[in-house]
Amino acid sequence: MTVLEIRNLRTQFHTDEGPVLAVDGVSLELSAGETLGLVGESGSGKSVTALSIMGLVARPAGEIVDGEVWVDGISVLGKGNDAMRKIRGKTVAMIFQDPMTSLNPLFTVGWQITEALRLHLGFTKAAAKKRAIDLLDRVGIPAPETRVASYPHQFSGGMRQRVMIAMALSCEPKVLLADEPTTALDVTVQAQLLQLLKDIADVSQTATLLITHDL
């Protein structure tokens, strides 16, 4: 079953030097359980493609000028912020390149992993904590019962990226956009994380768009 379909996506930025067409006619299809690699050199529009799917292209500088994006049967382009907030996390989630800018240093990882669960699905604090421990366990964090109360700076880079994956999985999204999820990490840790993403795609049938500049 196709859970992500992009047709002729075109996204543009208005800059001082005039318009920049960052994404120029991208089309792709992704089925449940499938992993698709999106590869291109730096600046080729990979991240903007993912941000366009998420409805996170910042207006007014950025603008989707053409195309269609369907996520789990929902046409997302042109949806308002409130509607996108319900789709983000629950239907399509994104793992960003740099966990240090995406994780808030002031909150425990458990709190951050379950923010979406408390906000969208009305989990109580106790239920959210239990679910955070399950998620940390699932992404291979040792001693998740104690680590759930740790802060991001208490984790290594690889472990922080595992936390980001746990956060992205918290609402069991149909589609996972992994934007250079291993770029900042050493080769052994990269291999472990890619295996983890593969296991998740296999077990949960999560459709995964794996973005990288590294062939």
Judged by the rule CB under 6 A, the positions of this chain that interact with ligand ADP are 13, 15, 20, 22, 40, 42-48, 61-62
> Please, which residues have CB within 8 angstroms of residue 159's CB and are 6 or more apart in sequence?
141
- Interface residue with Mg ion among 11, 12, 35, 47 (CB under 5 A) is 47
Sheet-wide strand order for 2-15: 18-31, 2-15, 62-71, 74-75
Does position 212 bind Mg ion by CB under 5 A?
A: no
What is the token pair recorded at 164?
């980001």
The interface partner of residue 22, options being Mg ion, ligand ADP, none and the CB cut-off 5 to 8 Å by kind, is ligand ADP
55 vs 181, beta carbon nearer Mg ion: 181
**Of 47-55, 84-92, 129-137, 139-147: span binding Mg ion (CB under 5 A):** 47-55
136 vs 177, beta carbon nearer ligand ADP: 177
The interface partner of residue 89, options being ligand ADP, Mg ion, none and the CB cut-off 5 to 8 Å by kind, is none
18 vs 80, beta carbon nearer ligand ADP: 18
**Given the DSSP bridges, would you call strands 74-75 and 62-71 parallel, antiparallel or unpaired?**
antiparallel
41 vs 82, beta carbon nearer Mg ion: 41
**Of 2-10, 43-51, 147-155, 193-201: span binding Mg ion (CB under 5 A):** 43-51
Q: Any idea what the Cα angle at residue 14 is, between residues 11 and 15, rounded to 5°? A: 130
45 vs 158, beta carbon nearer ligand ADP: 45
In order of 73, 94, 105, the CA distances from 13 in angstroms are 27, 21, 31
Q: How far is the CB of 205 from Mg ion (least distance, A)?
A: 26
Beta-bridge partner residues of 6: 28, 69
Q: How far is the CB of 14 from ligand ADP (least distance, A)?
A: 8
Within residues 159-188, the interface with Mg ion by CB under 5 A covers none
Q: Is the peptide bond before 181 cis (omega within 30 degrees of 0)?
A: no
Q: Any idea what the Cα angle at residue 35 is, between residues 34 and 40, rounded to 5°? A: 145
47 vs 190, beta carbon nearer Mg ion: 47
Report the C-alpha gap between 8 and 25 in whole angstroms.
Answer: 4
The amino acid that residue 3 corresponds to is V
Grouping H, G, I as helix, E, B as strand and the rest as coil, residue 202 is helix
Place of tokens 């990226």: 161
Q: How far is the CB of 12 from ligand ADP (least distance, A)?
A: 9
Binding interface with Mg ion (CB under 5 A): 46-47
